[in-house]
Structure formats: structure tokens, C-alpha cells
Chain A
Amino acid sequence: DQQVKQNSPSLSVQEGRISILNCDYTNSMFDYFLWYKKYPAEGPTFLISISSIKDKNEDGRFTVFLNKSAKHLSLHIVPSQPGDSAVYFCAASASNTGKLIFGQGTTLQVKP
């Protein structure tokens, strides 16, 4: 039962353009959502998060949007840079469980 889904395994964008990574979830108990970035042979690093009481959170070039009615969130990176090339994982949690459930990941390639 895949409660968090990232349906695009990969995405390629040109440097300077916007990258949009998408994530869908099925569990209506999820109330906290996060994005992680992962380079090969390293652990995931926290990027940005959003609580279910908000619909947008912005941190520099990174913005996360949450659409609760559609059970959908997205990560926007603008402008994209070659150093952003990595695997991006969406994750969700319900406050009464404490554990994060991850999506399958999307590999982003930013071309110079």
C-alpha cells in the first residue's frame, strides 16, 4: 500500500528554469509533509516542510505547495541550478505516529 506516491521517476530541466516535482498521498491523517534531497552514497537531507494548516511554504529558491483537497503537494525550485541534480523524496507523517512515510523518489537532472 503506497500511501505516498511520486509518479514521475525522473525530470530533466534546463539551468535557470523552474523544476516542479509532484507528490500525491492517500492517507487523510497525514498532517505534516516534507521534502528531502539525496545524493548518491549519502543520506537524505532535509529540504523544506509544510504543515497541513498551510498551503504554501517558501525558503529561498524552494517553495512547497499543499493542496489538501486533492491530497497533492509539489516542490518548486526556481531558478534551477546544476547542483540541484539529485533524487528528491516526498515524505508525510501523521502527528500521532511519529514516523515518516516516503515516496519512491524523483531523480532531477538540471542541465547547464
Chain B
Amino acid sequence: NAGVMQNPRHLVRRRGQEARLRCSPVKGHSHVYWYRQLPEEGLKFMVYLQKENIIDESGMPKERFSAEFPKEGPSILRIQQVVRGDSAAYFCASSPPWGGGGYTFGSGTRLTVV
């Protein structure tokens, strides 16, 4: 499969639990981006990562949210102590080193906090 793989597709967590969202980029892509889509809203940038580096995390909430893209394995978006307002669709995208051409998006993880 040449696309961006996100799992799980659906995730239900109780308030206060932790949510871990995984993203495997397109083979050969070294850049990963996470976006969040709240109900009835557009895609909001959260974080931009390269292998072992966070390049831009200006869209990440200051608390409870973290992201990593290790040398080996998928990128992880981690949300600690989830609250109802974290319920959203989280999309991961990947790209080669920037030279135009756009991103390839995954199908998203739909997080529901109950």
C-alpha cells in the first residue's frame, strides 16, 4: 500500500484517558504533518515533523498534546487526559522534502471522547 496509513480509524476514550494516534507515511516520505478537523470546521494545522525532529508545533495546544516521529516506526500523536473538546477527526499527511506537489493524506482517526 503506497498511501499514508493511519490507525486506528475510530477511537473511543473516556474523559481523562490517553489517546494514541499512529501514522505511517508514504514510503520514502520524510515529512509528516498532523491536522485536526473539528465538527463543521476546516483542517487546522497542528504539527510538522521530520524524522526525530519537530519542525513546527505552532498549532499544538500547549498542554496534553505531544507528537513524535522516531527514526524507526510510525509517527505518534499523543493526547493525555482527553476531554470532550478533543473529539475530532485527526488527519496525518506526509510529503517528500518540500519541493511542491502537495501532501498525501491518510483517511484519518476519528476520536470520540465520552
Contacts and interface: CB of A to CB of B under 8 A. Distances in A.
Given A99-B33, A101-B45, A43 B108 contact: yes
Contact of B42 (A42, A49, A89, A97): A89
A62 interface: no
Contact of A44 (B31, B56, B91, B110): B91
B106 A46 contact: no
B28 interface: no
A46 B4 CA distance: 13
A32 interface: yes
Contact of B33 (A34, A42, A95, A100): A100
B100 A98 contact: no
Interface string A70-112: 0000000000000000000100000101111111110000000
A46 B31 contact: no
B22 to A, nearest CB: 15
A42 B93 CA distance: 13
Interface in B32-70: 33, 35, 41-45, 48, 55-56
Interface centre among B6, B102, B104 (most CB of A within 10 A): B102
Nearest to B10: A41
A12 B55 CA distance: 40
Contact of A42 (B31, B35, B107): B107
List 5 tightest A-B contacts by C-beta distance, closest first: A43-B105, A104-B42, A102-B43, A46-B102, A98-B98
Interface of A: 6, 32, 34, 36, 41-46, 49, 51, 89, 95, 97-105
15 contacts: A6-B42, A36-B105, A43-B91, A43-B93, A43-B106, A43-B107, A51-B100, A89-B42, A98-B31, A98-B55, A99-B45, A100-B45, A102-B35, A102-B43, A102-B45
